[in-house]
Chains A and B, each alone.
Chain A
């Protein structure tokens, strides 16, 4: 059964007197445990599609289901909780809370969940900060980090709640290839051990080596049906 189900999704942006058709009828089924990559040129609609899957944006037409639940029908609180418990986000413009340090940023979603014990929180945060290689910077504020380091914090934060699905918009765009690989490896491990579903958009051919399935988008339409790479 697919954990993400996108049906005939369209997204129009009004732009002055014209309309931009960012998505023009996208159908997509992503099975649980996928390591799924969306590729396409700039402006093709990758970010728009990920936003709609992540309930950050609403489709103009069509439906999206996450884990069997039709998200277009949920209210704001339900959507927020769905995002907190089932989804993890890594934004293209890595987005951290400026007043919190690395540790606190990673810890943040766990504290919002209010379901974990202190010890458990500490163990998880520690593990993820180590995984993204930021032990030395745990007490630095985002402003004191490089772009790549911030992106790694964002990744750790997305992974910390152990969500069912992680949506990542060009997660490695700002990383050197070494860090890229270590992070992608981390994601793959999680994907294999925890059955976490990963959906990411990318330009990076290196990243594609890790992908299990790839779909191509162009002008708001899927070009290929997904194909197994491995």
Chain B
């Protein structure tokens, strides 16, 4: 064994008490760092699995006219999302090596129409259901009824929305053609199970950008429950995209079949209003540009046809994008935004975190809090170890000064000190990491679940699944190394300042 190591090793045994204190701190530091890091990893993986893979993709594309980015969970503004004007052109550039899959959709808040009752709002996601289930397979399960078919009218009501509807409006959604499933009733409703008002369709009203309102009636085909984060995502009912478009006066797939533009639809809306309220002058002021169009023909288009529609031909207000394996979100965002601006597409790509607004930033905050916690452990460990080591150095002034006097260089003594700390760090830190790994293992096995929204964010889903990857392990070891080096820096300075004279100095 090299001389320095031998002396360092024996010094550890000579100063057992101090070494135990340092060791304990290193142990706890390494332990909490390991557990903290695996919670962060678990959260990341959970959020990726439960939000990225199930709800939003990595990136969301929205119109450049959209003033804010949190398009999915911003219930305050009440303004409808801006339509992507040139979706076809956007679709063309989505054939990109960095893009794994994409799904155009519409999202927005609509008002339930309830004569004589209070207003209730619904958050709707309008999708081509076939493509939706390919993009986000298995992200919900049907608890009652069925998923509407592609091209069919229908809405899937989440349990959370059904409960809310009962609480506010006193009726209970039951899918069309299905009977009441008593076991699924909420406790409150259970008592009234015989006199319950059942509903099998939803009438809602959206607004166009020109301020006109359109109401649509959609049959409820199924009740669903999302696989995770129900409390957060469960507000979103999934509706067939054509119904959504009609309620918002977007260009529908049916409109596209006869080539009508957004502007003209607004005009059409004006016309309808005009007939109702007799606003002759308003119509007179409207200048019709381009080819003249046949109003009759347009109205016919509103009558559903049996022939299958191209659901992807109408308007969208957002596109969910999953990036190819290994592409970082940062790179994906930069690349897509570059492509969009190069092609003047008037859309922008935003991160999923931004698209879910508060939830995204809360996830970031929770992560930051966990990180700060780990940092604090770091910091406290460094301070305490630094102090203890400096005191140890000062206690050994005579001994160290004598070694200097008989020819040991500063470097030798610093190495000796570093070895002492290094060995402690290796042993106790290693134990701490091992204990952390064990705890993580048990936590995973325990399969803890929660209904609490905040905890769901910490867990990254409904269940607590901290993850310890090889990278995390390496990060843990590196952090331990950094703590060791940082905490020994000052004590090493103290050692470096000890001079041979200290060996003979009188007390």
Interface of A toward B, CB cutoff 8 Å: 47, 51, 54-57, 76-77, 80-81, 83-85, 88-89, 91-93, 95-100, 104, 108-109, 111-113, 157-158, 161, 169
Which residues 482-507 of B have a CB within 8 angstroms of A? 499-501, 503-504
Contact B14 A99 (CB under 8 A): yes
What residues make up the interface of B, taking CB atoms closer than 8 Å to A?
A: 3, 6-7, 10-11, 13-14, 398-399, 402-410, 412, 499-501, 503-504
CA distance A214 to B407 in the complex (A): 28
The residue of chain B having its C-beta at the shortest distance from the C-beta of A96 within the complex is: B402
Bound Cα distance from A104 to B3, whole angstroms: 10
Contact between A56 and B405, CB atoms less than 8 A apart:
yes
Of the listed residues B13, B403, B501, B504, the one surrounded by the most CB atoms of chain A closer than 10 A to its CB is: B504
* Closest Cβ neighbor of B7 among chain A residues: A99
Asked if residues A92 and B504 are in contact (CB atoms below 8 Å), the reply is yes
Which A-chain residue is minimally distant from B10 (CB atoms)? A99
Residue of A nearest to B407 (CB): A84
Contacts of B408 in A (CB 8 A): 80, 84, 112
A83 touches B501 (CB 8 A): no
A residues in contact with B13, CB < 8 Å = 99
Kindly report which residue of chain B lies nearest to residue A158, judged by CB atoms.
B406
Evaluate contact between A83 and B405: CB separation under 8 angstroms: yes
A51 to B499, CA, bound (A): 12
User: What chain A residues lie within 8 Å of B499 (beta carbons)?
Assistant: 56
- Measured between C-beta atoms, what is the minimum distance from A226 to chain B in Å? 24
Cβ–Cβ contact A99 & B407, under 8 A: no
User: Which of A51, A85, A169 is the one whose CB lies under 8 Å from B501?
Assistant: A51
Whether the pair A77, B409 counts as a contact (CB closer than 8 A) is: yes
| Minimum CB–CB distance for A133 against chain B, Å | 22
Residue pair A56, B11 in contact (C-beta under 8 Å)? no
Known interface pairs A91-B503, A98-B14; A83-B409 also in contact (CB < 8 Å):
no
**Chain B residues with CB below 8 A from A92, complex form:** 504
Q: Establish whether residues B11 and A99, one from each chain, have CB atoms under 8 Å apart when the complex forms.
A: yes
Contact: B402 with A76, CB < 8 Å? no
- Nearest chain-A residue to B2 (Cβ)? A111
Which chain B residue has the least Cβ–Cβ distance from A143? B14
> Nearest chain B CB to A65's CB is how many angstroms away?
19
Most buried by B among A89, A99, A157, A169: A99
The answer to whether A89 and B405 have CB atoms under 8 Å apart is yes
Chain B nearest Cβ from A58, distance in angstroms: 9
The interface residues of chain B lying within 8 Å CB-to-CB of A111 are 3
5 extra interface residue pairs, beta carbon distance < 8 Å, beyond A97-B403, A161-B407:
A56-B504, A91-B504, A108-B403, A109-B406, A112-B406
**Given A98-B14, A99-B10, A100-B10 in contact, is the A109-B501 Cβ separation under 8 Å?**
no
Residues of chain B within 8 A of A47, CB atoms compared: 504
Determine the distance from Cα of A88 to Cα of B412 in the docked complex, in whole angstroms.
19
Please indicate the chain B residues that have their CB under 8 angstroms from the CB of A83 in the complex.
405-407, 500
A88 to B405, CA, bound (A): 9
Give chain A residues whose Cβ lies under 8 Å from the Cβ of B504: 47, 51, 56, 91-93, 95, 169
Please indicate the chain B residues that have their CB under 8 angstroms from the CB of A57 in the complex: 501
Taking the closest CB of chain A, its distance from the CB of B435, in whole angstroms, is 30
Q: Which chain B residues lie closer than 8 Å to A56 at the CB level?
A: 405, 499-501, 503-504
Q: How far is the CA of A97 from the CA of B10 in the complex (A)?
A: 11
Check B405 against A112 for contact (C-beta < 8 Å). Answer: no
How far is B501's CA from A190's CA once the two chains are assembled, in angstroms? 27
Q: Roughly how many angstroms separate A56 CA and B398 CA in the complex, as a whole number?
A: 13
Using known A-B contacts A56-B500, A92-B504, A99-B10, determine if residue A85 contacts B407 with beta carbons closer than 8 Å: yes
CB closest chain-A residue, reference B403: A97
Residue pairs across A and B with Cβ atoms less than 8 A apart, 24 shown, are A54-B405, A56-B405, A56-B499, A56-B503, A81-B409, A84-B408, A85-B407, A88-B406, A89-B406, A91-B405, A91-B503, A95-B398, A95-B402, A97-B399, A97-B403, A99-B10, A99-B14, A100-B7, A104-B6, A109-B407, A112-B406, A112-B408, A113-B407, A161-B407
Alpha-carbon gap, A82 to B407, bound state (A): 8
- Least CB distance from A124 to B in Å reads 15
Contacts of A104 in B (CB 8 A): 6
- Cross-chain contact A76 with B407 (CB below 8 angstroms): no
| Chain B residues closer than 8 Å to A81, beta-carbon distance | 407, 409
Residues of B close to A108: CB separation below 8 A: 3, 403, 406
Cross-chain contact A97 with B7 (CB below 8 angstroms): yes
Question: Smallest Cβ distance from B396 to chain A, in angstroms?
Answer: 9
**Chain A hits for B404, CB < 8 A:** 80
